């Protein structure tokens, strides 16, 4: 998962490089920055998740803070995914490839929503399991006795086995949805990449070949005659 996250970040970093033509930078700059920052935070969230799993048992409050912080960082990563597909839709519009642009705009909502809900649901399950003493990252203190003094602990203690089973079903369903949308995203990447390579070849054969050394962007258009 860590290697996959790093590979995705690297690909997104290349995708959001400044446009060599200089066209559309007024529209794309914010999206490019949001994608890079948010996906970087998302990778750090993944690293923190595995670090927590590898740590020895810790106090309940510290574990709760780390889980909540990881969820917030993960949501920032989801914002980056949303911005990435929005950016892809804009680039597809320039080709133009309206079918790919529509696909990207669908995935920005579908994948972002399912990923966010899956992450939040998983975090709630982890917290419930921790505060009732049954979580994988159970704290060093006696969870049931410590939890009953708080409102969340009382709710967690009364959540019950049936409620936990329902939560597991929800998380599994969301996980399957995320997997399906990720496969759709991979197919989109392949198709968009193919169209971008075609456009790059056209650009090299037209305006890029006419650019003087040291000049960026398309050659200037001469003013109309008198």
Q: What pLDDT was estimated at residue 144? A: 42
More confident position, 194 or 140: 194
CA 78 to chain centre: 4
* Domain limits, the chain: 2-209
State the pLDDT at residue 101.
Answer: 96
The pLDDT tens digits of the residues spanning 90-118 come to: 999 989 999 999 999 999 999 999 988 88
Q: 168-177, pLDDT tens digit by residue?
A: 788 889 889 9
Whether the pTM exceeds 0.95: the reply is: no
Inter-residue contact 126 to 137 (CB < 8 Å)? yes
Q: Is residue 180 over pLDDT 70? A: yes
């Amino acid at each position: 998962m860590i290697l996959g996250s790093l590979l995705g970040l690297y690909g997104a970093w290349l995708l959001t490089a400044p446009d060599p033509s200089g066209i559309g930078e007024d529209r794309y700059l914010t999206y490019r920055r949001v994608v890079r920052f948010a996906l970087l935070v998302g990778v750090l969230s993944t690293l923190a998740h595995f670090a927590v799993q590898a740590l020895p048992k810790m106090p309940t409050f510290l574990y709760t803070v780390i889980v909540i912080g990881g969820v917030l960082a993960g949501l920032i990563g989801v914002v980056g995914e949303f911005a990435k597909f929005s950016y892809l839709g804009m680039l597809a519009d320039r080709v133009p490839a309206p079918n790919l642009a529509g696909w990207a705009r669908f995935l920005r909502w579908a994948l972002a929503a399912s990923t966010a809900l899956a992450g939040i649901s998983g975090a709630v399950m982890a917290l419930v399991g921790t505060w009732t003493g049954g979580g994988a990252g159970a704290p060093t203190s006696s969870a049931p006795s410590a939890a009953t003094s708080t409102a969340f602990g009382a709710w967690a203690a009364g959540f019950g086995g049936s409620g936990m089973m329902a939560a597991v079903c929800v998380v599994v369903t969301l996980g399957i949805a995320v997997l399906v949308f990720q496969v759709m995203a991979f197919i989109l990447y392949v198709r968009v990449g193919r169209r971008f390579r075609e456009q790059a070849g056209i650009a090299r054969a037209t305006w890029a070949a006419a650019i003087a050394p040291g000049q960026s962007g398309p050659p200037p258009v001469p003013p109309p005659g008198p």
